[in-house]
Chains A and B, each alone.
Chain A
Amino acid sequence: MLTKDELKRYQRQISIFGEEGQRKLKEAKVFIAGAGGLGCSIAMYLTVAGIGKLRIVDNDTVALENLNRQVLHWDSDIGRKKSESAKEKLQRMNSDIEVEVISETINKGNIDELVGDFDMIVDAMDNFSARYVLNKAVLNKKIPFFHGAVHGFYGQATTIIPGRTACLRCIFPEAPPPTVPPVIGVTPGLIGCIQATEVIKYTLGIGSLLENRLLIWDGLDGKIDELPLEKNPSCEDCGQEVG
């Protein structure tokens, strides 16, 4: 049930998808892997949209050089755990939702337990080895995975539905060499919003998802392109479970 306050808070979006849609958002449990540039953008918009439960996992501490893009962390947060800093701001934005945070580094040993019974994983990691850990977890649990990544003014996003679409390993069989990529805050801001849009659409069952489509943003050119993706029949992660 939606409370009177909730009906008012979400009035302008309930006019898009109705109270039934808003209830679906309230019942959703979304796991956000990371509270950096992408994670801040994703978490803020899912918070204000009224996703009932967010679980955010990040083990980093806020540093001055994070502040150009990680908009949930402010000057006064330097030295705090990102997870704690994010939780405080998000709860102040919307006290009707539940925000859980865990200060741990995601790895293949703890991922299944961290995700638990959550409905989906949003990728807000900054490296491919962690993303492959998430990829395996979503394939095991058969839950959707909302990928996003950024570099400078460039970004990319796609939505992975196990059994239906290419998995992250089909798309990128090997990681590019690890780097510390340059980033301007607007890029994760925008890509995170695209990921959050996908989460909302998936939860509501409306629109067409970025399934087997890689959206590529070029902020310098102001252009969005889309490249088709396909499953790799001999993918080492999902090749066995192609359905």
Chain B
Amino acid sequence: MKVTVRFFATFRELFGAEKEIELESGSNVQDLLNVLCDSRQRRQKIFDRSGKLRPYVKILKNGRNIQFLEGVRMELEGQQIQFLGGLHAGLDDGDVVAIFPPVGGG
């Protein structure tokens, strides 16, 4: 499947403005970021040293903040499991993902 990624503000200097990324079906936002962060410099912009998403990096999937999205629902050993959104938010063919940092000057 293919998703479109749009970067904004200073992220454009490192990632470009827009990219189409081919992913295996069933991929989530974390998988997408792993593909995008193909250099140390790029990874450092998005993730902190412990591999966590930097808290000021905002990611929207089709206009919704991934932080507020529900993740994948699965049945495991007869029980419904609801994964959180965030980096676990699932992606579908044709999704548009926006990634941006706040700018802070005045």
Contact = CB atoms under 8 A, between A and B. Distances in A.
B: interface residue count bin: 20 to 34
Interface string A31-44: 00010111100000
A176 B105 CA distance: 11
Interface stretch (A7-15, A84-92, A97-105, A152-160): A152-160
Given A225-B8, A227-B8, A228-B60, A154 B65 contact: no
A188 B17 CA distance: 22
B87 to A, nearest CB: 15
Contact of A34 (B8, B68, B104, B106): B106
Contacts of A125: 106
B65 A126 contact: no
B106 A175 contact: no
A173 B55 contact: yes
A149 B68 contact: no
B51 interface: no
A153 B106 CA distance: 12
B63 A151 contact: no
Interface stretch (B29-37, B76-84, B95-103): B95-103
Given A174-B55, A175-B56, A150 B68 contact: no
B93 to A, nearest CB: 22
Interface in A81-118: none
A152 B13 CA distance: 11
Contacts of B104: 126-128, 149, 151, 175-176, 178-179, 181
B64 interface: yes
A151 B64 contact: no
A39 B56 CA distance: 24
B10 A230 contact: no
Given A221-B17, A227-B60, A232-B67, A154 B103 contact: yes
A174 to B, nearest CB: 4
Nearest to B62: A228
Contacts of A149: 102-106
A156 B103 contact: yes
12 contacts: A34-B106, A126-B106, A128-B104, A156-B102, A156-B103, A171-B58, A173-B56, A175-B104, A176-B104, A188-B106, A227-B63, A227-B100
Interface of B: 6, 8-10, 12, 17, 55-56, 58, 60, 63-65, 67-68, 98, 100-106
Interface of A: 34, 36-39, 123-128, 148-152, 154-156, 171-176, 178-179, 181, 183, 188, 216, 218, 221, 225, 227-230, 232-233
Given A183-B105, A228-B64, 8 more contacts: A156-B9, A173-B56, A174-B55, A175-B56, A176-B102, A216-B9, A225-B6, A230-B68
